[in-house]
Structure 1
Amino acid sequence: MLQAFLQDYGYLALFIGTFFEGETILVVAGFLASRGYLDINLVMLTAASGGYCGDQLWYFLGRRKGREILARKPHWEALGEKALNHLRRYPDIWVLGFRFVYGLRTVMPVAIGISGYPPLRFLLLNALSAIIWAIVLGTAAFHLGSALELLLDDIKHYEILVISALIIIGCGLFGWRRFRNRRPS
């Protein structure tokens, strides 16, 4: 059942997941690639494409309606101001590295768009960043799966448990971030 679902929808689910956020789904896909359900090269290509497209969309929305977007969510507005301060000091470094800073994945491209950062430059540096991100995180997850295979005699028996644990951890981090951002300062 898992294999049939992944063959039919695995890469599409990975693209959609990385378009919107991505870390958890990329880790799960890297693990599944280590188990032979997905191809690690296609996982990294799909994740880089999804992350790139999502960030491009947020960047262009930031250029057009960035202040309105940030104003809708008070915690985004505060994060957006922090992001703009970082961008003013080290613009290229932040464009290359924002996706590695947990909690800034959506806000940062909006802030970059607001800042007036050149579109072509963002297009190129965002592509490079998405590729690096997908390779680093995808490879790490792939090797996590390989390491678990060494630790567990019959990993096939534990696959669903490992996938569930990865998803629960990812959802827990997402929930913790949401809760933390909603608390009054």
Structure 2
Amino acid sequence: MTIEVIVARYGLAALFAGAALEGEAAVIAGGVLAHKGLLSLPLAMLVAALGSFTADQGWFYAGRHFRDHRWIAAARGKPAFAKAVAAFERRPTGFIFAFRFLYGLRTVSPIAIGSTQVSARLYAIVNGISAACWGVIFSGIGYVFGHSFERVLGRLAAGRHLWWVVGGLLVAGIAFGGWRWYKARHA
């Protein structure tokens, strides 16, 4: 199976999952694939935004509907949760927009916001706008700097090895995201 067939079959699904589970590294990789002509840039941006939006909506509703569950109650005791709620209380709409850009607060923030009294409609609207901006920015970074990324990766990024490089970056990004989640949960 050629790289084009693999990307055509799994590229956007992998980008959606990567944006939902890990974030920036997956979306930048999607921009690099668009730079190579293996994905449509507007479609990569849209799928990245949808992946991020969907995951954050899910976490918001988890915080909303399971706020008394022991897992959410345990999360409330973590410093990152308290930090997210405090930032949200100062500027609710601004924090909903900005949390996905803030290191260390991205995973816990939708849960924390869901446990507040903010309307689900306001959260969905601001989350959608923020996810769209995030998808465009990070896909654009991958696209604009795609040539530089290729040069840095050298021969591995050329031809049939590109999928392995992108896959490796996605796996590394997901592993890093899992490590951050673990550290935040056990802090």
Contact 1:27–1:166 (Cα < 8 Å) also in 2: no
Change (3 A) 1:152 1:20: closer
Larger mean Cα displacement after TM superposition, 87-96 or 165-174: 165-174
Contact 1:70–1:80 (Cα < 8 Å) also in 2: no
Change (3 A) 1:170 1:46: same
Partner of 1:181: 184
Task: Provide TM-score, normalisation by structure 1.
Answer: 0.83
RMSD over aligned CA atoms reads: 2.6
Distance in 1 (alpha carbons) for counterparts of 2:149 and 2:24 = 19
Paired letter, 1:170: G
Partner of 1:118: 119
Q: How does 1:69-148 map to 2 (within 5 A)?
A: 69-71=71-73, 74=74, 77-78=77-78, 79-148=80-149
Distance in 1 (alpha carbons) for counterparts of 2:119 and 2:158 = 49
SS in structure 2 at match of 1:116: coil
Partner of 2:55: 54
Contact 1:60–1:113 (Cα < 8 Å) also in 2: yes
Shift of 1:101: 1.3
> Between the two proteins, what is the percent identity of the paired residues?
31
CA offsets per residue over residues 16-47 of structure 1, 9 Å max, x none? Answer: 22233322221211111111111111000011
Contact 2:15–2:47 (Cα < 8 Å) also in 1: yes
Contact 1:59–1:109 (Cα < 8 Å) also in 2: yes
Shift of 1:53: 1.4
Gaps of 5+ in 1: none
Paired letter, 1:46: V
Change (3 A) 1:149 1:174: closer
Number of matched pairs: 182
Paired letter, 2:109: M
Paired letter, 1:177: R
Task: Provide TM-score, normalisation by structure 2.
Answer: 0.82
